[in-house]
Amino acid sequence: MTRRKGTASPERLTTVVVLRLYVAGGAPNSMQAIANLEAICAEYLKDGHRLEVVDILDNPRRAMAEGVLVTPSLTKLSPLPAAQVVGNLSDKKRVLQALGLKPHGK
Amino acid sequence: MGALERRAIAAGEIDAVIDYGSANVIVFPAARRALRDTAKRASAAERKATLETPERNAILAALPRAEYRRLLPALEQVMLESGDVLCEAGAPIRHVYFPVDCVVCLLTKIDSQQTVATGLVGYEGMVGLPLALGVRASSVRAVVQVAGTALRIPATRFSNEFQRGLQLQNQLYRYAQVKLDLARQTAACIASHRIEQRLACWLLMFDDRAMSQEILLTQEQLANDLNVRRESVTATSVVLCSRGLIGHSRGRISILDRKGLETVSCDCYRPIEIAEAARRFR
């Protein structure tokens, strides 16, 4: 694998990325969001992340407390700045951007 | 709602929105359908799980795990109602039934009008035994008398599995012998014993197989089973009731004094061998 000089390699990230994904039970977009996010985490963050999945059908007030309007909805809590992506996370570029990561090979 | 959310909704990527006014989650129709289907699948999985634990039918419970697992994909759980005919005398057997909490009566034809009960099958047994002995047609009419659940398997599939399963063969040969003995005993009983004795014996056998305290049987059914006049059943029931042995109201019979009923019954009464059942249930 070739890496561009001067780009922070995601494999060498020392900070842990803390993520929270809000889903609606086993609804299709929610399931897809979980799968997409897990794939991205496995590829880019390896062990350097913590992911919590919150089901709003069980816990709507918690989502409200954090200003979530729709599901699926992904929030990056740490490192700052916080970021949010809504939808089934099939747009990998947008997810990486929100996570502050650069796509491989670019 | 921001542009981000609106765009995602338009793209069909959203399952639900939160209504902050009522603190309710509004699930979109497509997601709701999918959730409902998932719930259905989960209940199907639950049903499958009940099939995974066969201890509610003694024959299936006695099979080694590997043999049971081989049967499992072909087993179907069915709800049977009182009066359902599982097979007709002389007709090919289409399914083999393993009762769980229903009771099936085996009726032997006497003439075009009359039948008499010559066997009773509950959780301890199986309906469709002739298949295990290489006969494809039933010699009796099998009628459900106490509604409940059973596991069934198509006849051809059963025959195939029977050829392969040594333990299943052992179980069913032993069961066939028990049934044969019981049929012989019943024949002797019908020829020799008074209706009071026969009714007591029949009720005890029912009670052994029915899972509930009360047995749902009309006097009409009892008269058909024993091939006696209905009036005789009524009169006998009244006697047994007056002696405090059974309770009877609106087609429900409850046994109040088992020991007492056993003393009235003829010696033809054969309990389901408790030791045998226990060994089967392991």
Taking only the tens place, the pLDDT of each residue in B148-160 is 889 999 999 999 8
ipTM above 0.90, yes or no: no
How many residues are there in chain B?
282
Single out the residue of A63, A25, A52, A23 nearest to residue B23, CA to CA.
Answer: A63
Contacts of B25 in chain A (CB under 8 A): 24, 56-57, 60
Angle at which helices A28-40 and B29-52 pack, to 10 degrees?
A: 80
Measured in angstroms, the CA of B18 and the nearest CA of chain A are apart by 5
pLDDT over threshold 70, residue A6: no
Measured in angstroms, the CA of A16 and the nearest CA of chain B are apart by 26
Test A61 with B23 for CB contact under 8 angstroms. Answer: yes
Contacts of B40 in chain A (CB under 8 A): none
Q: Are A26 and B34 in contact (CB under 8 A)?
A: yes
Taking only the tens place, the pLDDT of each residue in A29-68 is 888 888 888 888 888 777 777 888 888 888 788 888 888 8
User: Cβ atoms within 10 A of the Cβ of B124, count?
Assistant: 19
Backbone angles phi, psi at A74, to 5 degrees: -110, 130
Test B20 with A64 for CB contact under 8 angstroms. Answer: yes
Of B16, B32, B38, the CB nearest to A56: B16
pLDDT over threshold 90, residue B95: yes
Of B8, B20, B31, the CB nearest to A27: B31
Q: Are B175 and B123 in contact (CB under 8 A)?
A: no
* Three-state SS at A56: coil
Single out the residue of B265, B211, B216 nearest to residue B240, CA to CA.
Answer: B265
pLDDT of residue B273: 64
Mean pLDDT of B205-211: 83
Using CA atoms, how far apart are residues B87 and B105, in angstroms rounded to an integer?
Answer: 11
Contacts of A30 in chain B (CB under 8 A): 15, 31
Measured in angstroms, the CA of A3 and the nearest CA of chain B are apart by 32
pLDDT of residue B282: 43
pLDDT over threshold 60, residue A8: no
Q: Which amino acid is at B253?
A: I
Test A24 with B13 for CB contact under 8 angstroms. Answer: no
- Nearest residue of chain B to residue A58 (CA atoms): B25
Taking only the tens place, the pLDDT of each residue in B15-25 is 888 888 887 88
User: Cβ atoms within 10 A of the Cβ of B145, count?
Assistant: 28
Contacts of A24 in chain B (CB under 8 A): 15-16, 25, 27, 31, 35
Test B5 with A24 for CB contact under 8 angstroms. Answer: no
Test B35 with A25 for CB contact under 8 angstroms. Answer: yes
Q: Are A56 and A22 in contact (CB under 8 A)?
A: yes
**pLDDT band at residue B144, thresholds of 50, 70 and 90?**
very high
Angle value at C-alpha B262, between B256 and B264, nearest 5 degrees: 95
Contacts (Cβ under 8 Å, ≥6 apart) of B91: B137, B138
pLDDT over threshold 70, residue B45: no
The dihedral formed by the CA atoms of A59, A61, A67 and A72, expressed in degrees to the nearest 10 = 20
Check CB contact of B3 with chain A, cutoff 8 Å. Answer: no
Structure tokens at B65: 């795990």
Using CA atoms, how far apart are residues B174 and B232, in angstroms rounded to an integer?
Answer: 36
Using CA atoms, how far apart are residues A2 and A106, in angstroms rounded to an integer?
Answer: 10
- Nearest residue of chain B to residue A30 (CA atoms): B15
For chain A, give the percent of residues with pLDDT over 70. Answer: 83
The answer for B 234-273 residues in CB contact with A (under 8 A) is none
Taking only the tens place, the pLDDT of each residue in B159-198 is 988 888 888 888 888 888 888 888 888 888 888 889 999 9
Handedness of CA A30, A33, A37, A38 (dihedral sign): positive
Taking only the tens place, the pLDDT of each residue in B210-266 is 877 677 788 888 888 888 888 998 899 899 989 988 888 777 788 888 889 889 998
Test A71 with B23 for CB contact under 8 angstroms. Answer: no
pLDDT over threshold 70, residue B277: no
